[in-house]
């Protein structure tokens, strides 16, 4: 029987995932090949380091993990660098701390998501207000600009699921991660011609080509988000079945184009980190 992950293991897995995402070329996002959108790699490293302990806090609720990790990240950087990452990784962190892994991470995750309550919503909404992400408009019900009234976090995610892939992940028990992203990443990683950073690049491009990025959609609208997805699909010969060193010039050109236009596929980056985090939790490495 594999025991639940310790807080130290979860924290280390989170840091590994965040750093691995930064090490890879991911068109449109900040990475070691290129800064962008007024942010540097250092900002994301500082945010990850600050969030790693609170997101893994033993016995903490999902909402408290989200709130404390966001508070720590914003205090460390003065920026919203990782709200989406925190929203996605907090339930996984709690699940990893509570499952024997004979039961299964995804099954335990489903139990945790279904049990999210009003206090989780209060804490998560407070975290979102602290991070103040770009492109957040107002809605009639479940608006994050005010504390939720008699609304559980899962119910709030139901309200936002059609317009936001992070919210949809809560409703689908991370179907995009377990059914799509993890298989893509593992196949790329197992290919002898692909090193770890190129496997992450492959994952990023596969996600970008599969799902319109909802960070871009919030800021620029559905048409622009769909256009970016179409551009990623046009580049399939450069990353399907996997990216190689020969792919880098074309992908770097796409990266520069997106950054020149101010298009940051931030939700895609959030899913990349979460996929790497889930994989690290499942594979289990010593902290």
Instruction: Say how far apart CA 27 and CA 37 lie, in whole Å.
Output: 12
Query: Which H/E stretch holds residue 170?
Result: helix 165-172
Record the pTM: 0.93
3-class SS letters over the chain: CCCCCCHHHHHHHHHHHHHHHHHCCCCCCCECCECECCECHHHHHHHHHHHHHHHCCCCCCHHHHHHHHHHHHHHHHCCCCCHHHHHHHHHHHHHHHHCCCCCCHHHHHHHHHHCCCHHHHHHHHHHHHHHCCCCCCCCCCCCCCCCCCCCCHHHHHHHHCCCCHHHHHHHHCCHHHHHHHHHHHHHHHCCCCCCHHHHHHHHHHHHHHHCCCHHHHHHHCHHHHHHHHHHHHHCHHHHCCCCCHHHHHHHHHHHHHHHHCCCCCHHHHHHHHHHHHHHHHHHCCCC
Instruction: Say how far apart CA 71 and CA 57 lie, in whole Å.
Output: 14
CA 257, 161, 68 angle in degrees (round to 5)? Answer: 85
Q: Is the separation of the CB atoms in 222 and 135 below 8 Å?
A: no
- Cis ω on the peptide bond leading into residue 241 (within 30° of 0)? yes
Residue 141 CB coordination number (10 Å): 11
Q: What is the dihedral of CA 33, 38, 41, 46, to 10 degrees?
A: 180
- Return the pLDDT at 39: 81
- Return the pLDDT at 38: 81
Per-residue pLDDT in tens (0 to 9) along the chain, 287 residues: 578 999 999 999 999 999 999 999 999 999 988 888 888 899 999 999 999 999 999 999 999 999 999 999 999 999 898 999 999 999 999 999 998 766 689 999 999 999 999 999 999 999 999 998 754 444 444 445 556 778 999 999 999 999 999 999 999 999 999 999 999 999 999 987 778 999 999 999 999 999 999 999 999 999 999 999 999 999 999 999 999 999 999 999 999 999 999 999 999 999 999 999 999 999 865 43
Q: Which residue has the tokens 């298989």?
A: 183
Query: Which H/E stretch holds residue 124?
Result: helix 118-131
- Return the pLDDT at 286: 40
Q: Which fold does the domain 7-179+264-283 belong to in CATH? A: Triphosphoribosyl-dephospho-CoA protein (1.10.4200)
Residue 1 CB coordination number (10 Å): 6
């Amino acid at each position: 029987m594999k025991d639940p992950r310790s807080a130290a293991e979860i924290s280390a897995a989170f840091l590994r995932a965040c750093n691995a995402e930064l090490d890879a070329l991911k068109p449109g996002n900040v990475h070691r090949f290129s800064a962008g959108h007024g942010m540097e790699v250092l900002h994301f490293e500082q945010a990850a380091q600050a969030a790693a302990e609170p997101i893994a806090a033993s016995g903490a609720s999902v909402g408290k993990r989200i709130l404390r990790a966001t508070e720590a990240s914003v205090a460390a950087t003065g920026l919203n660098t990782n709200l989406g990452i925190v929203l996605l990784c907090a339930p996984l962190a709690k699940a990893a701390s509570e499952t024997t892994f004979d039961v299964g991470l995804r099954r335990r995750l489903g139990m945790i998501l279904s049990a999210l309550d009003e206090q989780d919503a209060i804490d998560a909404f407070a975290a979102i207000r602290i991070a103040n992400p770009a492109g957040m408009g107002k809605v009639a019900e479940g608006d994050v600009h005010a504390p939720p009234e008699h609304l559980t976090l899962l119910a709030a995610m139901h309200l936002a699921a059609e317009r936001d892939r992070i919210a949809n992940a809560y409703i689908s028990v991370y179907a995009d991660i377990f059914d799509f992203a993890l298989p893509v990443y593992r196949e790329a990683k197992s290919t002898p011609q692909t090193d770890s950073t190129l496997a992450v690049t492959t994952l990023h491009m596969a996600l970008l080509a599969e799902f319109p990025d909802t960070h871009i959609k919030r800021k620029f609208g559905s048409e622009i988000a769909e256009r970016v997805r179409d551009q990623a699909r046009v580049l399939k010969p450069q990353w399907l079945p996997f990216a190689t060193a020969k792919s880098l010039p074309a992908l770097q050109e796409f990266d520069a184009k997106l950054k020149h236009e101010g298009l940051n596929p931030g939700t895609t980056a959030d899913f990349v980190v979460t996929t790497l985090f889930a994989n690290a939790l499942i594979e289990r490495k010593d902290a």
